[in-house]
Amino acid sequence: MPAVQEIPGWRHVYTGKVRDLYEPTEPHPRGDVMLVVASDRISAYDWVLPTEIPGKGAVLTALTLWWFDQLRDIVPDHTVEAPVPDEVAGRAMICQRLDMFPVECVARGYLTGSGLLEYRATGSVCGVSLPAGLVDGSRLPVPIFTPATKAEVGEHDENVTLDAVAALIGREDAEALSHLTLAVYGLAHEIARAKGIVLADTKFEFGRDAAGNIVLADEVLTPDSSRFWPAETWEPGHAQPSYDKQFVRDWLTSPASGWDRHGDTPPPALPDDVVDKTRQRYLEAYDRLVAG
């Protein structure tokens, strides 16, 4: 992992794949808050890559803040109105501290990725039975909640059932997370579709605030946490072009990289053209959603 950035008035407490968390060194005017900084790091296949994508952190932050504004009628979010330090301006948020649920809340409206693999093997995804005959890219009859357990950096998230989530956090909270996840996905899908983007699936994180309310946290509906497909080219039956890091994944698994994703050797540095193409996809997703 890269060296920790020093930020006056803030103490670093955690480094994730993309984000760094800081707490204030002195009492903050807005109470018990955290500074959430989005870096330009990019991860793939559970590795943080040695090459950054310039401007990626700013895109993720701006898009997340835009989505929070669209979603507040459904669920509150963890941001608070406060200036961020100049050292991380444009790629950081001041957020209230939450007691986070240990669950990745995934909504799927279309079949692809790990959901497609599980469907082919069992006819269901995370315990939810689906109709026969679906293919890569098929729209599901209704969106489904397909949660996963959170994994440490370098480990794999594991898809689980709603019953498994209920056993972990209680039935009432599990049902509430399922309802909120699908409600947020439904509105976001409608908004994105109007902008010419298909929101195939996405993952959310929720926490509980000091008053006991369930709050939407972390990043939301970015190319890092979602599959965005151009609506004009969506066609079930094959993999779809997407606004995400697919260029990175494709290069890492190609002979050109010389990397064995199943081994213990870290991935190599990305070539300039892969960096440029990936950066352009993130920017295009932002432009189509926010300005489109």
Cβ count near 200 (within 10 Å): 25
Q: pTM score, two decimals? A: 0.93
- In the chain the beta strands, taken as DSSP E runs, fall at 10-15, 19-24, 33-38, 43-44, 47-48, 92-96, 99-100, 103-110, 124-125, 128-129, 139-145, 148-149, 158-159, 197-208, 214-217, 226-230
CA dihedral 218, 156, 59, 108 (to 10 degrees): -80
pLDDT tens-place string over residues 232-248: 999 999 999 999 898 99
Interacting residues of 123 by C-beta distance below 8 A, sequence separation 6+: 129, 130, 132
pLDDT recorded at residue 246: 87
- Whether residue 153 has pLDDT greater than 70: no
- Whether residue 103 has pLDDT greater than 80: yes
Average pLDDT over every residue of 49-76: 97
Start-end of H helices in 195-260:
246-252
pLDDT recorded at residue 43: 93
pLDDT tens-place string over residues 1-16: 667 899 999 999 999 9
- Whether residue 150 has pLDDT greater than 80: no
pLDDT tens-place string over residues 234-286: 999 999 999 989 899 999 999 999 999 999 999 999 999 999 999 999 999 99
pLDDT recorded at residue 211: 95
| Short-list 47, 35, 37, CA closest to 1 | 47
- Label residue 168 left, alpha or beta by phi (over 0 means left) and psi (-120 to 50 means alpha): alpha
- Whether residue 111 has pLDDT greater than 90: yes
Percentage with pLDDT > 70 across the chain = 97
- Whether residue 229 has pLDDT greater than 70: yes
Chain position carrying tokens 């794999």: 156
CA atoms within 13 A on the CB side of 236: 14
pLDDT recorded at residue 1: 61
- In 174-267 the beta strands, taken as DSSP E runs, fall at 197-208, 214-217, 226-230
pLDDT tens-place string over residues 172-220: 999 999 999 999 999 999 999 999 999 999 999 999 999 999 999 999 9
- Whether residue 125 has pLDDT greater than 90: yes
